Amino acid sequence: MSWSIEIDANTCIGSGMCAGVAPDHFELVDGYACAKQAQVEPADEVVDAAESCPVEAILVKDADTGRVVAPEE
């Protein structure tokens, strides 16, 4: 199983929370978040990053089924 990470660049406010929580998976480029890999192995810190984003700009899905893993509704 793998997860996909999508970041809504129009929503991201560049707070840097995601890169702080999961530096292996997120970085800031020109002040906005970028996923280091679009598909990743499931990892708690990816969920934590999506949950910590103040504007819920990060969407983590199961790459096979499309089920939303985080953030929780």
Interacting residues toward ligand SF4 by CB under 6 A? 7, 12-18, 33, 53-55, 57-58
Residue 3: helix, strand or coil by DSSP?
A: strand
Which residue, 41, 40, 28, 42, is CA-closest to 57?
Answer: 28
Peptide bond into 23 cis (omega under 30): no
Q: Least distance in Å: CB of 24 to ligand SF4?
A: 14
Shorter beta-carbon distance to ligand SF4: residue 18 or 46: 18
**Which CB atom, from 55 or from 68, has the smaller least distance to ligand SF4?**
55
Residue 59 beta carbon to ligand SF4: minimum distance, rounded to whole angstroms:
10
